[in-house]
Structure 1
Amino acid sequence: MKRFIAGLVGAATAVVALPASSAIAPAQAATVSFAVVDPVNALKQQFRAGRGVRLTETVRLDWKKNTTTVRRKGTLQFGPSGVVAADVVRRATSSRPVGKDIPVYVQHMINVDGKHYHCDVIPADTHLPAGKSWVRASVDRPLQKWGTVFGDQEINVFEPATLALLLRASTHRLPDQGGTQYRGTITPAELRTASRSFRETTSFGLDGKEKPGKITWRLWVNNKGLVTRLVTRDAFTDLIDDYASDTRYTDWGSKVTVTAPPADQVIDEDDVDYSTTRQTPPNAVIEQPPGS
């Protein structure tokens, strides 16, 4: 399949009983507190060179009696226009591998300076020459360019237009631990209109028409208007039974510098001979991005 897809549904409310001595006026009791900062503007204010955000993500995919769990952890670096670099480790675990597939696959990915680097940690890439662990390619391929940034989550909240779409499409707005929780449902067609990354990384159906269905989502922002969590579930493909993503965003505005792998460990993609394999795996590499 072209790409994993995502979504979710649900919510909870809580009622707190106050003692008689804590009684407040009816007008006060009816007041609810929402984040007053515009999340789209708050996102744009984060687009500063050398600053960034950290993310952790869990995706569950059920299809053909197989369950695949994908976990991502990494760091994104901003520039004036948005995300300019990313350093992420992705671990996929399959309950029932297909054919010769292994149950665990771990890949370390780095996007920086217009280049995409990937290193197969488990299993090690035995197609590479001795001493080489990383494969370098340009990021003109959409799945490499965007996949490192927002991974298996269908919705890219680092695009102001996409975030604005969610806010407009929200059917519920609830106070949540000093911030605000938004909930709603959008269609692939609506998301395609707003999201450049969605347009570039998804395809139309075999008949050339837009995929049917919907993406159900929940979005949390803190009292500064910054996104802290996105949970999604989708139901617009016959190939999978269930697809749910849960992404957390922390350390907004932290100092971030994503660097390329050591040059002596890198080989250009065009120079890799995939018709040959080595018995000795490449040099060991770290599984976690620096500072994660």
Structure 2
Amino acid sequence: MKRVIAGISTAVAITLATAVPAQAAAPAPADPIKALKSQFVVGKGMKFTDLSVVIWDDESEPYLQRTGSFQFGKTGIIASDISSKSAKKSSDPRAADPTGIFAPSRTIRIGTTSYLSGGSYRESMPEGKSWYKDQKGMTGGSSGWFGQLVNIAEPATLASLLKGAKRAGVSYSGTTTFGRLAKVSPWFRATLPLRSSDKTVVTFKLTVNRGGLPQRLTTSHAVTGIFDGPGWEGKTITVDTRFTGWGTKVSIKAPPASKVTAKLKD
């Protein structure tokens, strides 16, 4: 009998010992950097949506909505197409908007050349023209200032975020700064060529799928990092970006030449 009890005890101990690993934390997703680079196929790309919200005290206000797509080449992004519109619930089209941030806009960027329509350019176009060509233009016009500044489709930017980030399942969280982003990200430099402080801290949370591809990115930072004005003191902007359609066919082309101008009205 003692031998039987001893045998049962041993079997139970072995079962418990082998059961512990099964209850451990879920395995890490595939390497996000490798997963991203695997998407760099000519003629392929992905889509994304942004929702920007400005937060202060106990209040918050939806600010901008953006939809866009990236077209990839063998080494990364070769073109982007971004449309923006106001997300304000009380948005009045007659209200003063000198920056054009809330006016519907669209930016097509091929290489470093941007074609901008609407937004802050809506009232400056010569007759018959609807697109302004800027050889080294911003990624999303003035709407980009309140859009997603962090581009996880850039391997160097993604690597910078993941370095030192805390992982929980398929999510990574941490912080970076405008200064670090400016060093590694051409997208950031083109989106926000002028800013008030490179010391601005950006808090982020990135969620990937099991294959390592980004699915959602949420970032937050003080608005005074962009505009150093008393009206923005104590206000934070949070941008929630969703990524879809990885590996789908994307073809982004310049607007018709007949609709493009390189000179705006005075």
Pair in the same fold by TM > 0.5: yes
Give the equivalent residue in structure 1 for 2:178: 188
Secondary structure of the 1:169 match is: coil
Alignment of 1:105 onto 2:103: yes
Which residue of the partner structure matches residue 252 of structure 2? 258
Separation in structure 1 between the aligned mates of residue 106 and residue 50 of structure 2, nearest angstrom? 15
Deviation at 1:251, TM superposition (A): 0.7
Please give the alpha-carbon distance, in whole angstroms, between the structure 2 residues aligned to 1:146 and 1:230.
21
- Alignment equivalent of 1:217, drawn from 196, 201, 204: 204
Deviations 1:25-52 (A, max 9, x none): 33311242321x2111111121111000
Name the CA shift for 1:131/1:68 in 2 (closer, same or farther; >3 Å): same
Q: 1:132 aligns with which of 118, 129, 132?
A: 129
- Normalising by structure 1, report the TM-score: 0.69
Q: Which structure dedicates a bigger proportion of its chain to helix?
A: 2
Letter of the structure 2 residue corresponding to residue 100 of structure 1: A
Distance in 2 between the 1:87 and 1:187 partners? 26
In the alignment, is the contact (CA less than 8 A) between 2:64 and 2:146 conserved in 1? Answer: no
CA distance in 2, matches of 1:231, 1:136: 31
- Which of the pair has more CA radius of gyration? 2
CA deviations 1:115-160 (Å, max 9, x no partner) are: 321221x79935434433222232x13x248989997212121221
2:164 is equivalent to residue 169 of structure 1: yes
1:131 and 1:192, CA in 2 relative to 1: closer, same or farther beyond 3 A? closer
1:52 equivalent to 2:45? Answer yes
Q: What's the TM-score, normalizing by structure 2?
A: 0.75
Taking the aligned partners of 1:74 and 1:263, their CA distance within structure 2 comes to: 22
Structure having greater relative contact order (Cα 8 Å, sep ≥ 6): 1
Q: Determine the structure 2 residue equivalent to 1:284.
A: none
Q: Aligned-pair distance for 1:244?
A: 0.3
Q: Which runs of 5+ in 1 are unaligned?
A: 1-22, 275-292
Question: Aligned residue for 1:79?
Answer: 73
What fraction of aligned residue pairs are identical, expressed as a percent? 31
Across the aligned residues of Structure 1 and Structure 2, the Cα RMSD in angstroms comes to 3.5
Counterparts in 2 of 1:91 and 1:246: CA distance versus 1, 3 Å: same
Q: CA deviation at 1:203?
A: 4.2
After TM superposition, give the deviation of residue 53 of structure 1 in Å. Answer: 0.5
- Structure 2: state its 5+ residue gaps: 1-15
The one of 187, 202, 209 equivalent to 1:197 is 187
